[in-house]
């Protein structure tokens, strides 16, 4: 964390500000939530659903009620949510406002991200339900207190209207968010993952929330919240800030994807601001500022208080990294982007009040984008601000980091570089070398929109096309592999170890074999180098490489990846036949003959329990050219003998018809090969 507190000499304030602005911008402009915390002790105790069955059920329900509260937010003493989220068996909390019916779903992953709190809910009462899947063990929820909204408008710093009238008007800029509980404004901008900037004195930290699509406030000025689908909680490990007074006052941070939708704020909102290269000289520019200031002066309706408003005003002056402006602000505007309309770029972060009603004599102040501390933070981002940053290139790809990115992995350094945002909650990735595109599968764990979806993704652009909704699998598909010779797409379910074939057109998944109970496979891949299917089994706390010559049969354990390697959820193969995975943020290269892994280097990406890996591979050669000869003619009797030898050895190459029965190789494969041989190689 970059934390700097800068003290400016009194002489600097006296000389510089008087000369440049006529008055010292004095106060940061926050508008903290009007709330109180109420003790609330309810505890489900350890409780589980029935041992057998296929459907989740409500095993505990309670109502939380704070009379006359305008809104409520829960603070949990404990949440234990049993079952694997990536396996589709994760228990979860469903919290629903009794006023507007809006719900938030928190599973074990998102509950940890929300740091023991819930979203904000309108009204004075919510229902809390604990939903559990059969046979996953006991779950528990204990509520310790409720943060309850008081009526009335927020206070905050005095109005700093630069002139006789408040010129702010209601706006709907999708880039701008309301930051709580401190009561500031924040915004999305043009870093790698389109994350957030606000003021340093806004105190951004764990469990803080950014709200988009904010509704009008109540008649008394008390705020109303958007639904949980428009609330994003801060990734505290990403935060870098300085709170050092005018010109040294910024926060750079990221938020986790939304607990309900799985989307990042940028994926939902679709737009962002662009930072200027520096702070320009004053030359008559008009500035715009959009944020969530209060309305307490009677000049504007109370329903507009802490609702998004925008205004323009003159660019007054600059000194070092301080930008002086005369755009109307009030408490709650701290952190707003100061935009130069000449270039439509952000030149500052609004931080301090200063304007009075006398026009042209005083100014408000902002931290300029040229501040060295901000520039240093932007050059050294952390966690969700960092993931995907780097140079795109090479044949190895991954999908599904903590920011839903699709990108490349450098096989020399390990670095992950973003190509484009991908589908949410991605699980598997496989390359179809016959059409030059990836297959991808995701697992939407939110009960409001459950399901697995199969996509096609272009390696060069990252553009994703929905192919089908996957059906026929009794639990999520967590890994994919593609056999280009038979045109077979395979999938594996981590929950059961079951191997499936998946029809890319219909999405129908058909189980093959009896499954592999007791395994925990999140990664799957087909290797054309030896015509075998590979998987990584993480059961028992350490990762093992598995190999199938027949996907319908039992796999062979090739070997253990290495000491301390215990959670690998993606698997890829390159043209060399080497296998690749990620564990603990490191890119690993796996020897397919021994299963031993070599550490390549840090990905600098955020990869968790669900992601996919694959690689762009060379186009498939002529299948009938078994001996891979290059002379003329290409096909000879040697190819027939080669096929017979492979058939006799049980080589997966000889499975010409792509069947997965037992026995794997039959007379049908002979006929398939002869038909292919007769067609010839073009």
**What is the token pair recorded at 554?**
């039992």
Q: Tell me, what's the pLDDT at 334?
A: 96
Q: What is the pLDDT of residues 57-75, one digit of tens each?
A: 999 999 999 999 999 999 9
Which CATH number is 3-26+152-379's, of 3.40.50.10170, 3.10.129.10, 2.40.10.120, 3.30.70.890?
2.40.10.120
Among 531, 504, 534, 505, CA closest to 521: 534
595 versus 24: the higher-pLDDT residue is 595
Q: Tell me, what's the pLDDT at 165?
A: 85
Which CATH number is 35-149's, of 2.40.50, 3.10.20, 2.60.120, 2.30.110?
2.60.120
Q: How far apart are CA 109 and CA 43, in angstroms?
A: 20
Q: What is the pLDDT of residues 358-395, one digit of tens each?
A: 656 789 999 999 999 999 999 999 999 999 999 999 99
Q: How far apart are CA 331 and CA 154, in angstroms?
A: 9
Q: What is the pLDDT of residues 574-602, one digit of tens each?
A: 999 999 999 999 999 999 999 999 999 99
**For residues 470 and 453, is the Cβ–Cβ distance under 8 A?**
yes
402 versus 658: the higher-pLDDT residue is 402
Q: How far apart are CA 99 and CA 116, in angstroms?
A: 23
Q: Please give the average per-residue pLDDT across 7-21, as a whole number.
A: 33
Q: Tell me, what's the pLDDT at 618?
A: 85
Q: Where are the domains of the chain?
A: 3-26+152-379, 35-149, 387-615, 637-679
Q: What percent of the chain lies above the pLDDT cut of 90? A: 71
Average predicted confidence (pLDDT) for the chain: 90
Q: Tell me, what's the pLDDT at 20?
A: 40
DSSP state of 571: -
Q: How far apart are CA 40 and CA 76, in angstroms?
A: 10
Given a cut of 50, whether residue 5 has pLDDT beyond it is: no
592 versus 517: the higher-pLDDT residue is 592
Q: Please give the average per-residue pLDDT across 251-259, as a whole number.
A: 97
What distances in angstroms separate CA 78 from CA 54, 71, 111, 113, 511, one per listed residue? 27, 22, 10, 14, 39
Q: What is the DSSP string of 615-629?
A: E--PPP--TT-TT--
Q: What is the pLDDT of residues 115-138, one digit of tens each?
A: 999 999 999 999 999 999 999 999
Q: Tell me, what's the pLDDT at 158?
A: 57
Q: Please give the average per-residue pLDDT across 551-559, as a whole number.
A: 92
Q: Which CATH architecture has domain 387-615?
A: 6 Propeller (2.120)
Given a cut of 60, whether residue 83 has pLDDT beyond it is: yes
Helix/strand/coil for 424: coil
Q: Do 35-149 and 387-615 show the same overall fold? A: no
Structure confidence at residue 16 as a pLDDT band (50, 70, 90):
very low
Q: What is the pLDDT of residues 622-667, one digit of tens each?
A: 778 887 777 788 888 888 888 888 888 777 778 887 776 678 788 8
Q: Please give the average per-residue pLDDT across 289-300, as a whole number.
A: 84
Q: Tell me, what's the pLDDT at 357?
A: 58
Q: Tell me, what's the pLDDT at 682?
A: 66
Given a cut of 50, whether residue 13 has pLDDT beyond it is: no
Structure confidence at residue 445 as a pLDDT band (50, 70, 90):
low
Those residues with Cβ within 8 angstroms of residue 51's Cβ, 6 or more apart along the chain or in another chain: 134, 135
Q: Please give the average per-residue pLDDT across 39-54, as a whole number.
A: 90
Q: Tell me, what's the pLDDT at 306?
A: 95
What distances in angstroms separate CA 371 from CA 192, 347, 386, 471, one per listed residue? 20, 10, 20, 54
Q: Tell me, what's the pLDDT at 149?
A: 94
Q: What is the pLDDT of residues 142-193, one digit of tens each?
A: 999 999 998 777 766 556 788 888 899 999 999 999 999 999 999 999 999 9
**What is the token pair recorded at 601?**
């280097």
The label of the residue with tokens 């990403």 reads 238
- Among 454-458, 525-529, 539-543, 631-635, name the most confident range: 454-458
Given a cut of 90, whether residue 531 has pLDDT beyond it is: no
> Around 278, how many Cα atoms within 13 Å sit in the side-chain half-sphere?
6
Q: Tell me, what's the pLDDT at 448?
A: 55
**For residues 107 and 448, is the Cβ–Cβ distance under 8 A?**
no
Q: How far apart are CA 62 and CA 202, in angstroms?
A: 34
């Amino acid at each position: 964390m970059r934390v700097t507190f800068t003290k400016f000499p009194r002489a600097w304030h006296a000389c510089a500000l008087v000369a440049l602005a006529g008055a010292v911008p004095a106060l940061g402009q926050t508008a903290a939530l009007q709330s109180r915390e109420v003790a609330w002790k309810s505890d489900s105790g350890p409780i589980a659903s029935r041992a057998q069955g296929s459907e989740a059920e409500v095993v505990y329900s309670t109502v939380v009620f704070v009379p006359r509260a305008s809104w409520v937010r829960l603070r949990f003493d404990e949440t234990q949510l049993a079952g694997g989220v990536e396996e589709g068996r994760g228990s979860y909390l469903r919290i629903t406002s009794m006023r507007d019916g809006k719900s938030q779903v928190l599973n074990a992953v998102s509950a940890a991200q929300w740091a023991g709190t819930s979203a904000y809910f309108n009204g004075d009462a919510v229902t809390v339900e604990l939903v559990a899947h059969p046979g996953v063990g006991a779950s528990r929820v204990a509520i310790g207190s409720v943060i309850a909204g008081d009526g009335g408008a927020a206070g905050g710093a005095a109005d700093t209207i630069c002139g006789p009238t408040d010129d702010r008007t209601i706006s709907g800029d999708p880039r701008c968010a309301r930051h709580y509980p401190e009561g500031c404004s924040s915004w999305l901008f043009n870093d790698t993952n389109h994350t957030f900037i606000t003021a340093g004195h806004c105190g951004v930290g764990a469990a803080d929330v950014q709200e988009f699509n904010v509704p009008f406030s109540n008649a008394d000025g008390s705020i109303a919240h958007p639904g949980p689908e428009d609330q994003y909680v801060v990734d505290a490990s990403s935060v870098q800030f300085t709170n050092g007074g005018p010109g040294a006052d910024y926060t750079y941070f990221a938020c986790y994807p939304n607990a309900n939708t799985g989307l990042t704020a940028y994926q939902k909102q679709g737009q962002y601001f662009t930072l200027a290269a520096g702070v320009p000289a004053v030359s008559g520019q008009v500035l715009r500022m959009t944020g969530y200031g209060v309305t307490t002066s009677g000049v504007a309706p109370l329903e507009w208080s802490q609702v998004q408003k925008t205004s323009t005003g003159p660019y007054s002056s600059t000194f070092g990294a301080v930008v002086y402006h005369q755009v109307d602000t009030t408490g709650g505007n701290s952190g707003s982007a100061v935009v130069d309309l000449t270039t439509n770029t952000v030149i500052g972060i609004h931080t301090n009040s200063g304007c009075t009603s006398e026009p042209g004599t005083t100014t408000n102040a902002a931290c300029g984008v040229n501040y060295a501390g901000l520039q240093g933070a932007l050059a050294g981002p952390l966690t969700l601000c960092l993931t995907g940053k780097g140079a795109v290139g090479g044949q190895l790809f991954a999908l599904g980091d903590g920011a839903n990115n699709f990108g490349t992995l450098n096989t020399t350094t390990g670095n992950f570089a973003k190509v484009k945002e991908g589908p949410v909650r991605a699980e598997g990735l496989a390359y179809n070398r016959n059409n030059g595109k990836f297959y991808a599968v995701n697992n939407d764990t939110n009960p409001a929109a459950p399901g697995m979806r199969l996509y096609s993704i272009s390696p060069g652009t990252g553009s994703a096309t929905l192919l089908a909704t996957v059906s026929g699998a009794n639990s999520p598909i967590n890994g994919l592999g593609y056999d280009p010779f038979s045109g077979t797409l395979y999938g594996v379910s981590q929950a059961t170890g079951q191997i499936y074939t998946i029809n890319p057109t219909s999405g129908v998944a058909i189980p093959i074999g009896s499954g592999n109970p007791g395994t925990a496979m999140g990664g799957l891949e087909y290797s054309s180098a030896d015509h075998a299917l590979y998987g990584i089994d993480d059961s028992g706390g350490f990762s093992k490489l598995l190999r199938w010559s027949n996907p319908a049969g039992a796999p062979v354990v090739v070997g253990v990846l290495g000491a301390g390697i215990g959670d690998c959820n993606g698997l890829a193969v390159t043209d060399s036949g080497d296998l690749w995975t990620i564990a603990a943020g490191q890119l690993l290269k796996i020897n397919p003959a021994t299963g031993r892994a070599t550490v390549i280097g840090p990905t600098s990406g955020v990869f968790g329990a669900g992601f996919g890996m694959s690689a762009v591979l060379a186009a498939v050669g002529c299948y009938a050219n078994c001996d891979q000869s290059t002379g003329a003619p290409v096909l000879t009797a040697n190819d027939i003998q080669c096929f017979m030898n492979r058939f006799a050895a049980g080589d997966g190459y000889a499975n010409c018809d792509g069947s997965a029965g037992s026995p794997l190789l039959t007379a049908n494969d002979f006929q398939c090969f002869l038909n292919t041989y007769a067609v010839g190689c073009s």
